[in-house]
């Protein structure tokens, strides 16, 4: 997470893959209420992030400051990628036990995801 969202280089990458008639289509005649048709389907996406602070999960103190996961979910859902797993490492700014616990939890989650894939 970079200033609560994506770094500029990753945003540029996103801007280069969100392409009409390649990753999504515009079909207002078929669905005037929602004229966007995803063209990327059947893909699974894993997103591993690092966050300086903690508490971004639903119900936690920084929940409203998490623009990253909702942004990526929306962008890639518009392309058709709806099976997205987020692995978030938190407390990078603090270091110490909080960071170590977060890294351990992320590694455990990755191990479980690999074992079930």
CATH code assigned at 50: 3.40.50.360
Q: Which residues pair with 23 in a beta bridge?
A: none
pLDDT in tens, 61-108: 999 999 999 999 999 999 999 999 999 999 999 889 999 999 999 999
- Is residue 87 in a domain? yes
Q: Are 44 and 83 in contact (CB under 8 A)?
A: yes
- Provide the domain count of the chain: 1
2 occurs within a structural domain: no
Residue-wise pLDDT for 22-53, tens only, equals 999 999 999 899 999 999 999 999 999 999 99
Could you give the CA distance from residue 58 to residue 17 in angstroms, rounded to a whole number? 29
- Cβ pair 99, 91 in contact under 8 A: yes
Its domain, for residue 81, covers: 8-116
**Looking at the domain assignment, is residue 82 inside a domain?**
yes
CB-side neighbour CA atoms (13 Å) of 38? 13
| CA distances in angstroms from 1 to 52, 55, 78, 92, listed in the order given | 8, 13, 21, 10
Tell whether the model's pLDDT for residue 1 goes beyond 80.
no
């Amino acid at each position: 997470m970079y200033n609560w969202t994506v770094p500029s280089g990753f945003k540029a990458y996103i801007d280069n893959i969100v392409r009409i008639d390649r990753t999504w289509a515009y079909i207002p005649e078929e669905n005037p209420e929602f004229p966007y048709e995803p063209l990327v389907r059947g893909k699974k996406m894993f997103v591993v992030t690092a966050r300086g602070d903690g508490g971004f999960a639903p119900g936690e103190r920084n929940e409203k400051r998490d623009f990253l996961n909702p942004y990526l979910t929306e962008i890639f859902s518009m392309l058709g990628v709806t099976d997205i797993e987020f692995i978030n490492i938190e407390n990078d700014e603090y270091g110490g036990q909080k960071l170590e616990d977060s890294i351990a939890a992320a590694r455990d989650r990755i191990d479980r995801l690999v074992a079930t894939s």
